[in-house]
Structure 1
Amino acid sequence: MPKLIVPAATPIDGDRNIDIDRLAAHCHALLADGADAIALFGTTGEATSYTSAERIATLEGLIAAGIPAEIIMPGTGCPAVPDTIALSRHAFEQGCRTVMTLPPYYYKAVSADGIRDSMAWLIDALSGLEPRIILYHIPPVAQVGFPVALVRRLADEFKGIVVGVKDSSGDWSNTEALLEACPDLDIFPGSETWLLPGLRKGGAGCITATGNLNARAIRAVIDETDPARADARHEEIVAYRKTVEARPAIPAIKAVLADRYGIASWGAVRPPLRQLPVSEIAPLLDDLSRLSAEPVAG
């Protein structure tokens, strides 16, 4: 069954510390709106702005707040492989079933063999924990990624451990190539823009930032059985996505959440990101209000 996985935005307080209570409430709301799982500390969650200790404490806090560990998929990729190992081990020890990891991303123009070696090191260190790993491919941000041939190589070498890819390349031809080369893996487009084309070629659903705002409508596309109605629903969620990403995406998402929850601090981000300017918030909300944030009527 295709899945909607939402990389939850991370609320912070006036001291720039993670507000676990508000994050837990947001995750509960996402699940109620149709998300199948929460991707904790993905790009939208500002993962690289938080320390490993903060990420560990937050995962434990979410579980304590009633978010089941088995539906939390922490992002664990760091420039230093031992940090990736520590975050991944902790996640599996807490009961998470899957992690999503970037390749080590500081050094550029590294070889496929080097990325393979980093993954082998990680997987060897997770021995005995029954790890499942989603590879996170986001070259527009990380610049280092998982090319299709390397994904196939890793899937063959680490069967049952490397189980899928989040493709945030923004390039449908890359997603299509992954679907063709890796039918045994869960291939998730990193945007609902490619949700329906992906589903029609065997995709696993999507892992999408704007699921923070529009989960019900995205869920409706996944669940729709009539092709014509699916096309219509898909056009709506793509329009919603494009409206959000016409602004800096993370500040825009958090600005909408601040308005939706009536909590101004939801709009805050950690440096080096900057909060969406006040002058841009009302136009964003107005633009979104003209779109359907709910499934079209049955």
Structure 2
Amino acid sequence: MANSDLRGIVTAAATPVDASFEVDVPRLAQHCARLLEEGCTFVSTFGSTGEGASLSTAQKIAAMAVLKAEGADLGRHIPAIMTPSVDEAAGMAKAAAVLGCRAILVLPPFYYGAGDAGIVAFVDEMLKRAGRPDIDLLLYNIPQLSRFAYTPALVDAMQAAFGEQVVGLKDSTGDVANGVMLAERYPNLSIFTGDDRVLTPLLAAGGAGMIGGMPNLFAADLCAIYDANGNDTAAPLVEKQAARIAAVDNFGGIGALKAGLAARDGHPGWCRAVPPLQPIGANAAKQLFEAFGRTGAFLTENV
């Protein structure tokens, strides 16, 4: 694999925001540094977990520039492009390349019912307006939110159009069969899952790892599952992660992850979410932490 570094556990980093819903860059920098220290190979900023669709391109570029200026290694950052505006997408792609990001994670343009040709045309125009930057593309397959899937036919079309610039794909369908199929069909691409429960079979099929939200709180356990390299010895940890995913889904999704980060760091600002998302309530947080406790992860509602 030409891009053999694109493997491992990549955290889809949550984004801390201040009372004005601007990115809290110092806290984001601390969070990303901690995730890398805990064994994650990269962090992916401003994706779904990072509320990327709720933040403007200007906000994201400004935050990335400050991260770079403050010494963050953006060579270990993979920011997401999550916009149906080709001009906004181009601005993000250009900035990511100029700032030295390792790759960009590209969501299909949502809203209009574009077919495969339209999505290829969107990415082509994005790259054209960005000045054809020398930056790798990871395709972001999350049709339950974007409305469009990176099917094999579309992946083939993207490779035909952009060649080796397409280096991988994140499959957030949660479908084991789909992830395994992609890993087997595209051995030269880095195929990631967005779901902890798919990680072991994906690795066994030659997949690259995971890009997901759960490492925000459980990076060490996800890295241990990855290190098992598809072996069933990781089954007890996978079972714990499945229970933790269920708890997060049941008690607020992104808000639940942020409540967990607030409790872990003792910083209530982590609970803020950019509207329309809302913080979870005290009762939901209590039930979330009780569910985590049953898996051996003890957080306290001290925020």
Verify same fold: TM over 0.5: yes
Partner of 1:186: 190
Stretches of structure 1 lacking an aligned partner (at least 5 in a row): none
1 CA distance for matches of 2:89 and 2:148?
Answer: 16
Large movers: runs of 4+ above 6 Å: none
Counterpart contact for 2:14–2:51, Cα < 8 Å: yes
Would you say 1:21 and 2:21 are equivalent positions?
no
Partner of 1:60: 65
Partner of 2:270: 266
Cα offset, 1:171, TM superposition: 2.0
Would you say 1:95 and 2:92 are equivalent positions?
no
Amino acid at match of 1:8: A
Would you say 1:48 and 2:82 are equivalent positions?
no
Cα offset, 1:127, TM superposition: 4.9
Q: Per-residue displacement from partner, 1:255-294 (whole Å, max 9, x unpaired)? A: 0011111111110101101110111111111110221349
Counterpart contact for 2:203–2:229, Cα < 8 Å: no
1 CA distance for matches of 2:279 and 2:132?
Answer: 43
Amino acid at match of 2:40: A
Cα offset, 1:37, TM superposition: 0.7
Would you say 1:201 and 2:213 are equivalent positions?
no
Q: TM-score, normalised by structure 1?
A: 0.93
Counterpart contact for 1:240–1:293, Cα < 8 Å: no
2 CA distance for matches of 1:140 and 1:123?
Answer: 26
Would you say 1:3 and 2:8 are equivalent positions?
yes
2 CA distance for matches of 1:220 and 1:50?
Answer: 32
Would you say 1:82 and 2:92 are equivalent positions?
no
Q: TM-score, normalised by structure 2?
A: 0.91
2 CA distance for matches of 1:259 and 1:133?
Answer: 35
Counterpart contact for 1:16–1:270, Cα < 8 Å: yes
Would you say 1:247 and 2:235 are equivalent positions?
no
Stretches of structure 2 lacking an aligned partner (at least 5 in a row): 299-303
Question: Secondary structure of the residue that 1:135 maps to in structure 2?
Answer: strand
Question: Secondary structure of the residue that 2:164 maps to in structure 1?
Answer: coil
Cα offset, 1:218, TM superposition: 0.3
Partner of 1:37: 42
Amino acid at match of 1:237: Q
Counterpart contact for 1:152–1:181, Cα < 8 Å: no
Question: Secondary structure of the residue that 1:79 maps to in structure 2?
Answer: coil
Counterpart contact for 1:77–1:104, Cα < 8 Å: yes
After the TM superposition, which residues 165-244 of structure 1 pair with which residues of structure 2 at under 5 Å, given as runs?
Answer: 165-224=169-228, 227-244=231-248
